[in-house]
Chain A
């Protein structure tokens, strides 16, 4: 199909924004026509800010499309002759083909841009994660680590339930000391995990000890309450006396 009228394609630009937190990106695609060729190029810029620890930006130009857009046999600036001008039917056909071609190009360009954006996002995410890790990595001194991080408080609360005060203080102190030693080597997440694991594993021995110590006295007291409620105060007094003597003997 010969196209006798000069077709000029104005530069088209797209810009997209992404709502992903921490990312901002911009893409632009431009078409330009010169001589008998059309070329298309896209620009891409992505930036990411990671928790205030640093920012990453990636930008580049992508060769997206290049090809013939129209053919001008004369290849000069002289006005076209009337007999060479296309008919209305031909013009409508040309117009339709032109728009179809433009849509194909746009879809191709958009697809290429999407792939490039996706790849760039992955890169940015990796770099951001590396920055984030390095910001949290234990390159600081153990003193400053101790000031910043505390062991999980909910785990300490559980221990308070079962341990006598004197033992609880020493036990929590030992746990904290070992936690602080492990913190620079393991990092906060794994050190927290170690702490919780220690607490969970320690609960059973403490609970068993607690029940073992108090079972005799508790059982005797419960029996006394039951007997008194049943009106058997004499029996209750006798059992209370026996339990008291047993406690004194054990002490």
Chain B
């Protein structure tokens, strides 16, 4: 029971996508770049709304997988500030845990 409680909460499919996109965007991870990264990952096969990205990032932050901070306002954003995101250690562990079964599955498919 105690071991189970230490396990990070499992990630949903879209949460995996968002965490991967935040990692891929690196130090420049904010809403627009994260959305662009996800669009590249799914190769236009799925419509991604910015609202879904934001609510997922918000949920991941509540789980402690990412942290956010407010950046500088820029003219091309109509003078609005950016909200940057960074994946935390717990987020990386959760992502690894979510991807491991997929990697094994890919290995099996590769053997087949």
Contact = CB atoms under 8 A, between A and B. Distances in A.
B70 interface: yes
Interface stretch (A33-41, A123-131, A204-212, A221-229): A204-212
Interface stretch (B30-38, B87-95, B98-106): B30-38
Interface residues of A, number: 25
A203 B52 CA distance: 9
Nearest to B79: A173
Interface string A143-183: 00010001000000000000000110111111111101000
B78 A172 contact: yes
B3 interface: no
B34 to A, nearest CB: 9
Contacts of B50: 171, 174-175, 178, 198, 202
Interface in B59-111: 59, 70, 73-78, 80-83
Contact of A201 (B30, B52, B58, B80): B52
Interface residues of B, number: 25
A177 B77 contact: yes
A173 B82 contact: yes
A164 B55 CA distance: 12
15 contacts: A167-B83, A169-B80, A170-B31, A170-B81, A173-B80, A173-B82, A174-B30, A174-B31, A174-B82, A177-B77, A202-B50, A204-B51, A205-B54, A206-B51, A206-B54
Interface of B: 30-32, 35-36, 47, 49-52, 54-55, 58-59, 70, 73-78, 80-83
Interface of A: 146, 150, 166-167, 169-178, 180, 198-199, 201-206, 208-209
